[in-house]
Amino acid sequence: MNWFLKKKKEHVLFTLPLPEPTDLLDRLREKFPDIDFEYIHFGTLETFRNPETIPRDTIAGKTVLVTAGALPASPADCPDLELIHFISAGINHVQKHPIYTNSDIPLATVSGIHGPPIAEWVLMTTLLRNREYEKFYEAQKEHRWLKYPVKGARDMVQQRIGILGYGSIGRQVANVSRAMGMEVLAYTASPKTTPESRKDHGFVVPGTGDPDGSIPSQWFSGTDKADLHNFLSQDLDILLISVPLTPQTHHLISKAEFEVLEKRRTFISNIARGPVIDQPALVEALTNGDIRGAALDVTDPEPLPADDPLWDAPNVTITPHVSAQNAQTLERVFQVIEANLERKQKGEKLINIVDRKRGY
C-alpha cells in the first residue's frame, strides 16, 4: 500500500448570475495556490427563486460548488462534490431538490453577512413610522410647511423589541436597538439556557451583532402556539420577524397572533420570507388598526402583483426584497467562502452548515 498518496486536488466551481468579480477571485487564487478555481456566469437573478440545472459535464470533477441556487440534476451527476456553498443566507428555494433531499453533500450558506444592512433597513423603516415621516415627505412635495408636532410621533427609548428568530440578523438588530435605548427580547425554537448555547457560532461581521448573546433581557423559546403567544404577549412595541421559511414557520404569524399583538398595537417588521406571515390576515390587521403598522421587505408572492390589496393597506412600507443589498455584500460572501475553504483544507469544522432536518 502506498502511504504517500497525495490528497485529491480541490476544484472549486463558481456558477453565479453576475459577471466575474476578478479582484475577489484573484484574492482566493493568491491565498489558495493549490486550488483550481473556475468561474461561469450562469443563470439570472431568477436563479434565487427558480434554480437552474448545471450540466453534468460542467460539474464533473469539481469538489466545491459555489452557487446562487443552480445545482446538478441529481447526486449521481456530481460524485466528486464535497461541499455546496450558497451565496444566500436562506435556501428554501432548493429544499425540494434531489441534492437536498437525497444526498448528504454538506450545504453551507453565507448567513451572518446580512446583519449590518438589514439592521439599518429595520431601523430606518421603524423610525419612519415612529416619526410619521411620510406626512412630511408628502408635505415637502406639495411645498407645504406642515404644523408640528404630529400626535403619534415617538422615540425609541424604552420601547420593547421582540426578535422572533435570534440569528445573525436578529443579533445585529438587537445591537443597534440597544444603542437606541430599547429593551430586547429574544425568541428561538430551542431553549438557550446556558451562556454557551447563547453564543453565535456562525460567521460574524467584525464589530457587529451579539456574539455572546448578552443583549436580550429575556429569552423565550418553543415550537408550539402557546410558547409563541406567550412571547407575543410581552407588551412588544416592535416585532421583528427573522426566522427561516420552513413548513413549521409557514403562516407562523396569522389571525390568532395579530389578536395577541392587538393589545399593544405592535409594529411588525418582516425581513424573513413573505409566507411566514398570513398576508390576508396582515392586511386585515392593518386595515382595522389592530397593529400600528408594518415594514415589509418580503411579500407573498414576489414580485407583489400590482392589484394586491397589501399595496393600499394603511401604515405599511413595502420594499422589493432589497434590505440585504449593499456595496459590501459580494465581498462578505467571499469572506465566508474563504473561511470555509481554509477550514476545509485544515480538516476543521465548517461554518454555516445547513441542518437539513431543520431547514437552515
Q: Are 276 and 269 in contact (CB under 8 A)?
A: no
Continuous segment of H or E residues that includes residue 163: strand 160-164
CA 19/CA 240 separation, integer angstroms: 34
pLDDT of res. 51: 83
Residue 140 three-state SS: helix
CA 14/CA 58 separation, integer angstroms: 11
Section 341-354 average pLDDT: 96
Confidence of residue 44 (pLDDT cuts 50, 70, 90): confident
β-pairing, 107-108 vs 218-221, is: unpaired
pLDDT of res. 3: 39
Note the pLDDT tens digit of each residue in 237-258: 999 999 999 999 999 999 999 9
Task: For residue 348, count other CB atoms closer than 10 A to its CB.
Answer: 11
Q: Are 274 and 297 in contact (CB under 8 A)?
A: no
Confidence of residue 132 (pLDDT cuts 50, 70, 90): confident
Q: Which residue has the higher pLDDT, 85 or 92?
A: 85
Please name the residue that has the C-alpha cell 452557487. Answer: 67
Fold of 11-112+326-346: Rossmann fold (3.40.50)
The chain-wide mean pLDDT, for the chain, equals: 94
Q: Are 187 and 162 in contact (CB under 8 A)?
A: yes
pLDDT of res. 202: 92
pLDDT of res. 98: 97
Residues 6+ apart with CB under 8 A from 16: 39, 40, 41, 42, 43, 66, 67, 68, 87
With a cut of 70, say whether residue 5 has pLDDT above it.
no
Please name the residue that has the C-alpha cell 428561538. Answer: 188
Note the pLDDT tens digit of each residue in 202-217: 999 999 999 999 999 9
β-pairing, 36-41 vs 11-16, is: parallel
pLDDT of res. 45: 74
User: 33: number of CA atoms within 13 Å, CB side?
Assistant: 1
With a cut of 50, say whether residue 262 has pLDDT above it.
yes
Gap between the terminal Cα atoms of the chain: 42
Q: Which class for 148: exposed (0-12), middle (13-18), buried (19 or more C-beta within 10 A)?
A: exposed
Q: Are 318 and 311 in contact (CB under 8 A)?
A: yes
As a residue count, the chain comes to 360
With a cut of 80, say whether residue 295 has pLDDT above it.
yes
Burial string for 151-166 (b: 16+ CB within 10 Å, else e) reads eeeeebeebbbbbbbb
Nearest-10 Cα torsion for 281, 285, 287, 290: 170
Look up the CATH number of domain 115-318: 3.40.50.720
Cell, residue 210: 451579539
SS (H, E, C) 258-290: HHHHCCCCCEEEECCCHHHECHHHHHHHHHHCC
Cell, residue 96: 425540494
Note the pLDDT tens digit of each residue in 146-191: 887 666 788 999 999 999 999 999 999 999 999 999 999 999 999 9
Q: What proportion of the chain, given as a percentage, has pLDDT over 70?
A: 96
Cell, residue 180: 437606541
Maximum C-alpha span of the chain: 87
Confidence of residue 4 (pLDDT cuts 50, 70, 90): very low
Q: Are 269 and 323 in contact (CB under 8 A)?
A: no
Chain region(s) in the chain for CATH 3.40.50.720: 11-112+326-346, 115-318
CA 142/CA 136 separation, integer angstroms: 10
